[in-house]
Structure 1
Amino acid sequence: MIDIRVESFLAVWENRSYTKASEKLRITQPAVTQHIKSLEKQYGCKLIVYENRGLKLTKAGEIFFRYAQNAKVNEKNIIQKIREINKETKTMKFAATLTIGEFTIASILGDLVKTFNQYNITMHVDNTEVVLKMLQEGKISFALVEGLFNKADYEARLLKSASFILIAPPTHPLVTKKPIFLHELKNETIIVREKGSGSREVLERGIYEKNYTLEYFEKTIEIGNVNVIKEMVKSGVGLSFMYEDAAREDINKGHLAEVKIQDFTIQREFNFIYLKNQMIEAEIDMFYSFFKNNMI
């Protein structure tokens, strides 16, 4: 069982509060404080400090957090594996970000279930922020992500490279106009994903590198669903940036068109990630191989 002092440390940092940590663990706040002090005494350094009226991890605290987090996840894996000893089926839970889950791997999920028929498989689909949080909390064993993340915090393996493109209705004037430059979108309505979405962050970083922000465009509309965005683009509400995987079928059918921008091209990685030092890494390897070999 994981040390209660480590549980206190994780709860304090995850909640950014000693009070909320004590409520979550159902112990007193002085007890939580004593647990943190005991850890700091054992390791001979400060792990958490107050800065600008908030809590902050020290460099040592950042290292301790990563290993403590992994230890907690591995404890969950141990409990699960012990429970599975006399069972014919195993359990595997994972998550995918929206583009990957709804478009890139949708056609191979049937093959996934057949290939791993000895597993009860659960897949969650959500934005990058939520998926990373699930991974950190040990709710899933691995994740397929298209968004940005800190590779220092995870084991990351490349699945594929993907193009991030601008889509429009086929009748839009920009579809036939060449060349097109980013500044020519100034008077357009741009439909974007919600904050926390990997696609949103990729777009914002990409245009920022060109010295633009979303405020540059005439109007932006925020929508949290890729399929709804595509329908809005088809009906002429606006243009949108998204991964080619999400729009490929509609482009091939002539329902949408790609607008190639001369001075704005983005290639992003789709990654398979999991926490470091996983005791179930051999199983994770099998799932990675399946996705790597079957993703288009």
Structure 2
Amino acid sequence: MKLSQLRTFLETVRRGGFAEAARSMGVSQPAVTRQIQRLESELGVRLLRRAEGPVTPTPAGNQVQLFAEHVLAEHEALMERLRPFHDGVGGTLRIAASTTPGEFLAPRLLVLFAQRYPDVTSILDVTDSQRVIDALAEGKCDAGFTGFAPQRPHLSVERVAADEIVLIAPAAHRLAKRRRIKIDDLDGETLIAREAGSGTMESVKRSLHEAGLELPTMRTAMQLGTSNAVLQAVRAGLGLGFVTAQALDGELHDHHGVRTLSIAGVSLVRDLYMIYRSDRLDVPVVRAFVEFIKRWAESGRD
């Protein structure tokens, strides 16, 4: 039984439904459902009535509600009493990051953090943006990095870096010689897309929308999970793709079989964010990491 499961159960009871609890916690409804199901499976009893109308606790659920309220209150009090005894920073730090910051930003920051706090063991999970948010809300990680700022209750957001997204084409493609294209030039082209939930593609769509544009009809040849995978597919001549400029690593323009194209009237520079739960700042390693990243972002130093 995990504290995150008890928190999710209490929020579901208080809000009267899974969807309402999910909105309050800033996670997806399936994430709430999974937490409740795991708790019921572990305890071997049904905790909630799922009939029409508000979700209500069963008699067993009433007992778990009392237990959860007591345990969480005691946990909070214990953490407060232990605060004076934390002279150093150590332990395990769990970080979740979407693919672009997970490949190109978070590893560098964790190396710097480890140099400052050698007694900390860091674990990095690279996934899509929505799963980063869910992991934070469910208490499965201590902080996260994504390419967009979620507007969710209980989650704090700090801008930490900028990232440029570029459109790349095979060097032999008909558009490759033009460097700068109009959005309509992409009509009917083949796209090597990122996976559903990708912050890269969401940022592209948002930037186009802000410029009063949208992607024309393109044939999606495949969906890939990383910028590096998209780069390899484009290099093989399979289509066009959007990637972080960091994935090119010196391969700008016609180097190594790909060329970059800019879209007239559109800026594809986005911000990268650190996300964390303020109620986790009582944990010394989490507080130290958040403060370290804030200082790094403010100074702009590597």
Aligned counterpart in structure 2 of residue 288 of structure 1, from 267, 272, 293: 293
Q: Secondary structure at the match of 2:233?
A: helix
Counterpart in the other structure of 1:234: 235
From the superposition, tell whether residues 30 and 147 of structure 1 become closer, same or farther in structure 2 (CA, over 3 Å): closer
Please tell me whether the aligned partners of residues 19 and 29 of structure 1 are also in contact (alpha carbons under 8 angstroms): no
Amino acid paired to 1:33 = T
Q: Distance in 2 between matches of 1:91 and 1:219?
A: 41
Counterpart in the other structure of 1:244: 245
How far 1:87 sits from its partner (Å)?
Answer: 9.6
Counterpart in the other structure of 1:117: 118
Q: Distance in 2 between matches of 1:136 and 1:168?
A: 38
RMSD: 4.1
Amino acid paired to 1:201 = E
Amino acid paired to 1:218 = R
CA displacement, residues 216-254 of structure 1 (integer Å, 9 cap, x when unaligned): 113442112322211111111111112222334332892
- Note the 1:204-283 alignment, pairs <5 A: 204-207=205-208, 210=212, 212=214, 216-251=217-252, 254-255=255-256, 256-278=258-280, 279-280=282-283, 282-283=287-288
Aligned length: 262
CA displacement, residues 163-205 of structure 1 (integer Å, 9 cap, x when unaligned): 2221123343323226411111012111111112212322344
For structure 2, which runs of at least 5 residues remain unmatched after alignment? 13-17, 22-31, 50-54, 63-68
Q: Secondary structure at the match of 2:161?
A: strand
Q: Distance in 1 between matches of 2:196 and 2:228?
A: 17
Please tell me whether the aligned partners of residues 176 and 259 of structure 2 are also in contact (alpha carbons under 8 angstroms): yes
Q: Distance in 1 between matches of 2:6 and 2:109?
A: 43
Q: Secondary structure at the match of 1:175?
A: coil
For structure 1, which runs of at least 5 residues remain unmatched after alignment? 39-67
Please tell me whether the aligned partners of residues 182 and 264 of structure 1 are also in contact (alpha carbons under 8 angstroms): no
From the superposition, tell whether residues 200 and 24 of structure 1 become closer, same or farther in structure 2 (CA, over 3 Å): farther
Please tell me whether the aligned partners of residues 166 and 242 of structure 2 are also in contact (alpha carbons under 8 angstroms): yes
How far 1:102 sits from its partner (Å)?
Answer: 1.0
For normalisation by structure 1, the TM-score amounts to 0.71
Amino acid paired to 1:221 = M
From the superposition, tell whether residues 277 and 253 of structure 1 become closer, same or farther in structure 2 (CA, over 3 Å): farther
How far 1:88 sits from its partner (Å)?
Answer: 8.4
Q: Distance in 1 between matches of 2:109 and 2:176?
A: 32
Amino acid paired to 2:293 = Y
Please tell me whether the aligned partners of residues 166 and 268 of structure 2 are also in contact (alpha carbons under 8 angstroms): yes
